[in-house]
Amino acid sequence: MPTLPKPRLRRTPRGFVDPHPTLPSTEPKFEVAEREALRWINVERPGPVDLQWLREEFDFHPLDHEDVASRNQRPKIDVYPDYLFIVLYFPVFDKTVGRLNAGELDIFIGPDYLITIPNTPLKPVEYLFERCRESAEVREELLSKGTGYLLYRIVDDCFDYCFPMLRKMSNKLDRIEQEIFEGRSDEVVRDISNAKQEIINFRKIIRPQRTVLGDLESHKQRYLAPDMDIYFNDTEDASERIWDMLENAKEVIEALEDTNESVLSHRVNDVLRVLTTFSVLLLPLTLIASIFGMNVAVPGEGSLTAFWVIIGGLVAVFGGLLTFFRHRGWL
């Protein structure tokens, strides 16, 4: 493994306008937080120049470099004699489309360095790195216990960031339930569909990583002090809590969907019952009127008294049927 060069960090000042915004950068864009012999290198959304720099400065396996450049990877951990390559995914809310997407985080971990390569901006990684870069106390806390502890903090912060998303999801389910029983079933159909899609996407992100965390549990001893085993156990517990919450959310949204469909069906049944009742009420009246409206001689033809008698009979039949239906509880 070659010696990592000292990077030249360039922070763009606020208000600075690039006079040549269309010209591609010829220098790799990465930042480093270091303490003594341990360095944390963060390469956010790597471009061709950054990928070439990784190939030149690190003797990683060619397949790992291909995995970093690819966007179609599954969570995994590859074990090599002098480093580990880890691919993890975490949920990221995309405001442009209004739904959850998967943010990939590639990690190279060795005895004296840790490289994080998020292909999508991950706020937990950004926040933790900025604190580590700007605060000597945070650097002392994160980088004094080895790369294994630093890996734990990064992964743990990313999982902790999932809990606010789950709480928002739970609040959305509570709101949907309230709207269903307030008689707004027609309006919440789209909300139920969107919430169901969020839960499905969240589950697709979390489920494959449970196996990776189990594999990481067996390889953590290479870069973690023996007295720190409990840290990765805590991360695995957090992953299981997230999965349990997603299982509960899945059951809740399915129950809400069934409840909403039952409410809609009940409402349709009420409408059909009313329409059927009126049809039955009007059917004998239509029959009587049709008989006396035939173009043949009928009793009372041409008599005004017979007309009112027929009208009275129709009203009596209608009232009798209406009383019967109310007595049977059909109305």
Distances (CA, A) of 240 to 183, 210, 236: 36, 8, 6
Choose among 69, 250, 77: nearest CA to 155.
77
Give the β-pairing of 38-42 and 76-79.
unpaired
Element (DSSP H or E) covering residue 33:
strand 31-35
- The residue ranges of every structural domain in the chain are 31-265, 267-328
35 with 150: CB under 8 angstroms? no
Q: Which two tokens stand for residue 315?
A: 């009203």
Per-residue pLDDT in tens (0 to 9) along the chain, 331 residues: 334 444 333 333 333 344 444 445 567 778 888 888 888 999 888 888 888 888 888 888 888 888 888 877 788 888 888 888 999 999 888 777 777 888 889 999 888 889 999 988 889 999 999 998 888 888 888 888 888 888 888 988 999 999 998 999 899 899 988 888 777 766 788 888 888 888 998 998 888 888 887 777 666 566 666 666 677 778 888 888 999 999 999 999 999 888 888 888 878 887 887 787 778 777 877 777 777 777 666 676 667 777 787 788 888 888 887 787 777 776 6
The tokens for 166 are 């789950």
For position 223, what pLDDT does the model report?
66
| pLDDT for position 248 | 93
How many other C-beta atoms are found inside a 10 Å radius of the C-beta of residue 155? Answer: 26
Non-local (6+) Cβ contacts of 127 within 8 A are 157
CA distances 175 to 248, 256, 316, Å, are: 16, 11, 50
C-beta of residue 82 within 8 angstroms of C-beta of residue 69: no
The closest of 94, 115, 116, 90 to 103, measured between CA atoms, is 90
User: How much is the pLDDT for 247?
Assistant: 92
Based on the number of CB atoms within 10 Å of its own CB, is 196 exposed (0-12), middle (13-18) or buried (19 or more)? middle
> For residues 211 and 224, what is the distance between their CA atoms, to the nearest angstrom?
20
Q: How far apart are CA 150 and CA 229, in angstroms?
A: 13
Residue 94 tokens read as 């995309």
Amino acid at 228: M
**CATH fit for domain 31-265, picks 3.40.50.150, 3.90.1820.10, 3.30.460.20, 3.90.1170.50:** 3.30.460.20
Tokens 């006396």 belong to residue: 292
Residue type, 112: D
